[in-house]
């Protein structure tokens, strides 16, 4: 069974600084997708970044990048130049091909001004 573990219930970062959110997962498949979703206080789920497991290159979306370590089954999210609007709950999620999403427990990110 696929599982996703986020070991940091809460993280804090100073505005303009960099923060890394951790995620590990377990799957028996070789082909799958990984996602980071952001859930602000509005509770709307917003896709931050996604990574295909067959791609070795780490995905990047503006200030957001991932460190994908397939052998270690690790998928961390780095947020650079943190902004107040980045404050939210962040969920790591795994999807095996054609299957449903499995979410981690989430990490609350607080941004200090």
Q: Which of 3, 1, 2, 9 is nearest to 106 (CA)?
A: 9
Told to check if 95 binds other proteins by CB under 8 A, we report: yes
Q: How far is CA 95 from the centre of its chain?
A: 13
SS3 of residue 60 by DSSP: strand
Distances in Å between the alpha carbon of 85 and those of 57, 79, 92, 109, 113? 27, 12, 19, 10, 11
Residue 63's CB is within 10 A of a number of other CB atoms, namely 14
- Based on the shown chain and the rule CB under 8 A, indicate whether residue 103 belongs to the binding site for other proteins: yes
CB of 26 to other proteins, least distance (A): 16
Task: Identify which of residues 3 and 18 has a Cβ nearer to other proteins in the complex.
Answer: 3
Closest separation in Å from C-beta 65 to other proteins = 18
Instruction: List the interface residues with other proteins, window 50-89 (CB under 8 A).
Output: 50, 52, 89
Residue with tokens 């107040």: 84
Residues 10-39 that bind other proteins (CB under 8 A): 33, 35
Which of 77, 90, 91, 94 is close enough to bind other proteins by CB under 8 A?
91
Residues at the contact surface with other proteins, assessed by CB under 8 A = 33, 35, 42-45, 47, 50, 52, 89, 91, 95, 100-106, 108
């Amino acid at each position: 069974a696929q599982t996703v573990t986020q070991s940091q219930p809460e993280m804090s970062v100073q505005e303009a600084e960099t923060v890394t959110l951790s995620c590990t997962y377990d799957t028996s498949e070789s082909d799958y997708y990984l996602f980071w979703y952001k859930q602000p206080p509005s509770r709307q789920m917003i896709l931050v970044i996604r990574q295909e497991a067959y791609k070795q290159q780490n995905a990047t979306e503006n200030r957001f990048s991932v460190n994908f370590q397939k052998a270690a089954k690790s998928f961390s999210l780095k947020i650079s130049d943190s902004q107040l609007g980045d404050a939210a709950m962040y969920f790591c999620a795994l999807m095996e091909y054609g299957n449903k999403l499995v979410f981690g427990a989430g990490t609350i990110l607080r941004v200090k001004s």
